[in-house]
A and B are shown apart, each in its own frame.
Chain A
Amino acid sequence: MAHYDTIIIGAGMSGLAAGIRLAMFDQKVCILERHQVPGGLNSYYERLGRRLDVGLHAMTNFARRGEHGRPLTKLLKQLRIPYEKLELSQQHFSRIVFPERQLSFSNDPRLFVEEIGKTFPDQKENFSRLLDTVIHFDDVNLNNKYQSAKEKVREFISDERLLEMIFCPLLIYGSAWENDMDFSQFVIMFKSIYLEGFSRPRNGVRSIINLLIEKYLQLGGELRLGAGIQKIDTENGVVRSVTLDDGEVIQSNKVMSSIGLPETMNIVSEKQECPAAGSMSFTETILFFDKKPANEGIHDTIIFFNDDEKYYYQKSQNLCDYRSAVICFPNNFGYDDYDEGVIRATFIANFEKWNELDRANYLLKKKEVREQSLALIARLFPGFNARLLYSDVFTPRTIMRYTGHIKGAVYGSTQKVRDGRTAFKNLFICGTDQGFLGIVGAMLSGISMANLHCLMNGDKA
């Protein structure tokens, strides 16, 4: 029977990063992935020769080569991947669009500060005090306790309209909580989006996944695709082995699970209280056009759209909540690696409503989402006159099928386990439910959990 030092469940960003760290220091390590394509929440697929990315629209936490102390440079150093290999290109600029007010931001934080000063002159000083607090906050401390970010930010920002606009991108790019988030997570997201910013690796998310896999295999790590786990076999609070869907049993001293906390607790053999799954899920429409947005006068990289002064980041009452959306223009980065024009439009959705549809209605409703996406693009950019070549829509149901996240909850459970420990001595959590978010956060989660629990045996340096 095979016996490993560590088994990692899930070949997403966090699992792969954890695997690299362990293989680097000669552990016998195996990553088990249920699907045939790695990537997890940030993955990709092909349709009719077109490349479609799923997951985050961009990489957050942009940093220049060699820039000290940034999450991105830290993680590249830990993975020993040269910066150049990512071939990052930066966003042009992004916009938060609310009724009658909008704020642009780019990878130069001065733009955001300037825009807030112009649009909310009486909040200028308040915002600079908030900024100062954010910069000096120890956001990655694993011992930080939950604190409502909205309550905390209200100590600085007294205009709710500005507060809602600041929160909008941060919530939809990472919050498992409805309408609020933990202040540590707010700070992580704030820095990663407003202070560091968006970029895109050449050819999208698959480049990062391929880079991680290449490094991992080079170091001697084993990767098994199509290897789903039906049970984590435990005995008196200790994991002994895992049992695959086909009945194969694999032994391991430690198990690091990146599939989510409730999803992990669901498959341990000694029943555990199962934390609730989150309820934030989404639809996304991926549209291909015969013209590139830039040729039609659209230069934004990402638009965070909201049709009300209040931003409703909460589970949709209907299939989708069309009051808000995120629209991404993947062509609009420093360089453009697509042949066609591409637009991705995301709406907040309701898992149960999507899940109960029969096949005919499901397909019909997907069409409706596509029509709503096209209508919103036409509303924001009346001059965009391009022919639709191809489109695909994925729903909360698709997300559950391909990521295993219960209820298609993209950002996982509202219960985060910052130190990665579980009720089982040698079973640890990394990834979404550890609580570092985004592509960079996911990789840092895998690295820090592998360091803490598998290389240092849980003692903190």
Chain B
Amino acid sequence: MELRRPSSLAELPASPGDGAVLLAGGTEVVPLIRSGLLHAETLLDVRAVVPRGIDGTRIGAATTLAELESSDEVPDAVREAARLAASPQLRNAGTLAGNLLQATRCWYWRLGRPCRLHGGDECFARTGEHREHAIFANGFCASAHPSDLAAALLALDATVETTARMLPVGELYRLPTTADRRVTTLEPGEAIVRIDVPAPERSVYLKAMDRARWSFPLVGVAAARTGGETRVALAGVAPVPWLLAGGDVDGATPLPRNAWKVDVARALVRRALAAVA
């Protein structure tokens, strides 16, 4: 494996299949490579070329979670989502873009079982141990998306700037299908550069964990009020960050062992809506 440090974003390879993987904080990519879930012939350390820091509403993709957590400029939901993620050591290393692009914590996927997300024809969680899995959009794959920040940015209707285009954060993600198992719409070689986060009137992020710190969201709920509109988005409840249409969780389709997550989500949504009202 080769480690390269490109001197500009233009040097990023545009062609698929050359085995190049972008590396920033390394808190996700390195464990994935170690456990054989991600193959990389070349690691491209992009920390020197991807913008880092907060400039008004624009946040560099290489900004660390620790920097978001201690910023007065970002909306409350972003600050809280960063603060409640991972551990201090991980937040010092992990970046905003890396957090948005992290893979599910589904144990079957992490153990390399040939599940649908890995290209196979079975979702082991649906028939097996799924107490922490998705309660929305879980018919094909019951994995839960783990990013706290993605839910916050989705509620805030943030815009993603990549090396190729601008897109709403909601369009960064896609549900996996039989034809295409990916959960993001990024093309090979495309990298996130910045996120534009419009300032809301009020925003909040609430998170249910199974211990006080260093836990992925069992359920995370972000709410943001801008003008007359309030948007609510959830983490840990669907294979992608989940925008809650209609503001309630009645459309959930829980599995036999995770209906409790609907109750938790309902309570947190109610609290989040009250907090931004």
A and B: bona fide binding partners = no
Chain B contacts to A: CB under 8 angstroms: none
Chain A contacts to B: CB under 8 angstroms: none
